[in-house]
Each structure stands twice: as structure tokens, then as C-alpha cells.
Amino acid sequence: MIRVTPCALACGLARGGFEVYAVSMRKYAGGLAAVSALMATSLSAQGTETQLARLRNLHLPESPGSVPVIYSPPAKERALRYQAELQNAHTWFEEQLRIQVPMLLAVLDREEYQSLGGRWALPYCHQLSNPGIVFLPSHLEELVGPEPEAKTPGEYVTYHEAGHIFADRLKIEGGNPFVDELVANVFMAGYIRENRRDLEWVLEGPSADHFERTPRYTSLADLDYVYTDVGLENYVWFQYHLQRVAKFLLAGQEFPAVIKALQKEFPAAAKQETLDRIIAHLDRIRPGVRETLGTLAGPTTLPRLAPSACMQPASGGAQSTIGVRNDTASPLLLVRLQGGTETVAPRSWSGFRMKAGEWLKLPDGTCLVPGDKPALAVIEKQ
């Protein structure tokens, strides 16, 4: 089986797909590098081969190299620049880690991407396969806006996406999605520190002029429970901070040593963990993570949702997400209004996106009914 992590902000692929994300708000340039993994799923090797075959069947030009690139003809010059930069980073990662990781780059326009099954505007993604595939839009500046500090708009994104692919091959995997984003940022930060000091502004955290107000959600626990339902601007704020933390983890340490430590602290198939446990892992890599995180290390700010009567659903309600934390020692079985069941494992949590007025029925016959904002339900007994 091939693990594929799809991302969802404003970019997606139909089933069979890739990890994907995109942001159309230009003021978030720089934070885009880390807007990624939401959830994990699996595809058969046959399914992944079909996607790669679809890419080949577009009959687009291809430039050979250590990282070959398939590109939209009008984007040739841009694609070759991205290829050159990704090849530099790819070679550095392989030399530093003494591992070979086949990789391919695809630079596509909107129509070509959508012909692969893309449901959103632009490709901004990676696929964990063999070879791993990095997808970029042919006009990345539509997402990141002008970047006078970069030679090519969003070039640093290639380091981050390659980081996801290397981490997968090295069997580094957090049970919490934001951990995988932090790991990919460590790859990006390592390469920038050693080879592209002109891009260090990407790793400085959120600047005041990018955000008009303090974000509503400020704990990584919030991000853990409801992820992108914290809202686009708030989500990108978190990603800026994850890039800053990646830089902190590398300070005073060699890149291969930090990657080896990440392998030890976050082995593949790692279970979901509390924020405190994750911070303990990171502190063993470099002490001081909690202080570096600041408010991000605090308790969840999500309002609590108490069980109530199972209400008749209202029509036309907005979507929202309930984080359901099962603090009991037994699996928690939930029944959806529209049929079907969901199970939350003991001592773990899951997020459920629903329309307002829908509900999840608990074993005692009461329901968790979402409002118009994300909330957290904590189940302490069944």
C-alpha cells in the first residue's frame, strides 16, 4: 500500500490522488510552504500507477535530469527553474542522509491539473509514491503574490514538498498531522540554512503586517482537533509558526542528526499523542520547544460541546467541525444522522465535519449537535 496524505485548503484531487493544498490570498506568501497534510488514507499501487499514467498520458514535454520535470508548454522557462532548484535540494538531501529517493516534478496549468481529477483551482501538492511526485502550478504567483526576495515565486515550496517525500521514505510519521508538517519544514529549513540564506525570511514566523488581528485559535491543540476549520487565515498563522519552530530545532545542530532524532521520536505508524507528549519528543531533539511555542503550547481554546437531545436538522445550515475526544478505555461508537457509524478509539480523538443541525448519536441516546463554530466534545464515560 502507498500512503497518500491529502491536504485541503483550496486545492484537491479526486480519489486516487495526492496531498494537495493551495491558498488564493496573496498576503500569506511564505507561510504557504507548510500548508499541508490533513488526514491519511491509502491507495493501492495499481491506483497510484494509474495516476502516474494519467500524467504521462497528457503527452506534455519532459526535461530529463536527476529530478525529471513534466511541464505545460507555456511554462517551460518557469518549470526548468523549479526543476533546477528542486534538483539542488534533492541532491543535498540525498547526500546529507545517504539515501536515494526517486522524485519527479510536474508543473501544470489549471486545465491539465483538472484533467487528472483535480477538483480545485490549481495544483500545489505532493504524492507519496515511487517516484515521489511534486506538483506545482505553472503560475504560482497567483497564490503567493510578488516575492522580490525569491528568485522564482514560491521556489522554497519545492524543498518542503520534497521533505514530505523524504520523510515518508525514512519512515518518519507523526500520529498528529501537524507533526508531519513540522517535519517537512525541518527539511526546508535545513536546506535554506545551508544553501539559500537569502530565503531565511520564510522561517521567521508571522509578521505583524500579514495579520490584521490576533487569531481566534492559538493552541496547536485547536489545530489538532479541527484542523483547517480554524479558518484559512488562522491556519496559515499556525503554519508560519511551524516554520519558525523548524528553524529552532535545527539551531546549533547538524541536519542529519536532527533527521535521525525525528526518526527516533516519530516512527512510522506512531499513534496519536497529546500536545504535551509531542512537545516532550521535540524537547529531546532540542530543549526549549515549549518556550519557543509560547501560546501554541497552551490548552485548547475550543468551546466545550455537551451532549443534548437529538434535534431535527435545520435546512441550509453551514458546515462546522466537532472534535470528539474519547477519554474512556473503550471504543466510542457514534451514529450519524444520515446513517452509518463512526468509531473513536480509546484515549484518542477525531474531527467530524457536519452541517449545522446534523448530529452524532452517542451510545446513551443523546447527541452531539454542532453549532456554526468548531467545538470540542469530551466523553469521559459511556
- Contact yes or no for 113/106 (Cβ under 8 A): no
Residues 36, 134, single domain; the answer is: yes
Residues 224, 336, single domain; the answer is: no
Q: Cell match 498531522: residue? A: 177
pLDDT (0 to 100) of residue 25: 33
Quick: pLDDT tens for 179-213: 988 999 999 999 999 999 999 999 998 877 666 67
Pairing of strands 132-137, 341-344: unpaired
Q: Cα-flanking dihedrals φ and ψ of residue 82, to 5°?
A: -60, -40
pLDDT (0 to 100) of residue 9: 34
CA atoms within 13 A on the CB side of 333: 6
Quick: pLDDT tens for 94-153: 999 999 999 999 998 878 877 776 554 555 566 777 888 898 888 776 666 666 677 888
Q: Is residue 284 part of a domain?
A: yes
Residues 201, 59, single domain; the answer is: yes
Strand order in the sheet with 332-336: 341-344, 332-336, 360-361, 367-368
Residues 188, 241, single domain; the answer is: yes
pLDDT (0 to 100) of residue 96: 98
Q: Is residue 243 part of a domain?
A: yes
Domain boundary among 262, 297, 332: 297
Domain boundary among 248, 267, 297: 297
Which residues are CB-neighbours of 189 under 8 A, at least 6 positions away? 203, 243, 246, 247, 249, 250
Q: Is residue 305 part of a domain?
A: no
Residues 241, 370, single domain; the answer is: no
pLDDT (0 to 100) of residue 317: 64
Residues 77, 8, single domain; the answer is: yes
Residues 287, 330, single domain; the answer is: no
Q: Is residue 346 part of a domain?
A: yes
Residues 221, 97, single domain; the answer is: yes
Residues 21, 129, single domain; the answer is: yes
Q: Is residue 92 part of a domain?
A: yes
- Contact yes or no for 248/258 (Cβ under 8 A): no
Closest by alpha carbon to 107, among 161, 151, 165, 46? 161
Q: Is residue 114 part of a domain?
A: yes
CA-based radius of gyration for the chain: 21
Q: Is residue 310 part of a domain?
A: no
How many angstroms separate the CA atoms of 161 and 163, rounded? 5
pLDDT (0 to 100) of residue 143: 63
Closest by alpha carbon to 218, among 196, 240, 234? 234
Residues 339, 214, single domain; the answer is: no
pLDDT (0 to 100) of residue 102: 95
Domain containing residue 324: CATH number: 2.60.40.780
Closest by alpha carbon to 258, among 286, 279, 292? 286
Residues 284, 325, single domain; the answer is: no
DSSP for residue 3: E
| pTM reported for the whole predicted model | 0.84
The per-residue b/e assignment along 30-61, b for 16 or more CB within 10 angstroms, e otherwise, is bbbbbbbbbeeeebeeebbeebbeebeeeebe
Q: Is residue 314 part of a domain?
A: no
Q: What is the total count of domains within the chain? A: 2
pLDDT (0 to 100) of residue 39: 26
Low-confidence ranges of the chain (pLDDT < 70): 1-51, 117-126, 141-148, 209-212, 313-317
Q: Cα-flanking dihedrals φ and ψ of residue 346, to 5°?
A: -60, 145
Residues 234, 372, single domain; the answer is: no
Domain containing residue 86: CATH number: 1.10.390
Q: Which domain holds residue 358?
A: 319-379
Domain boundary among 235, 266, 297: 297
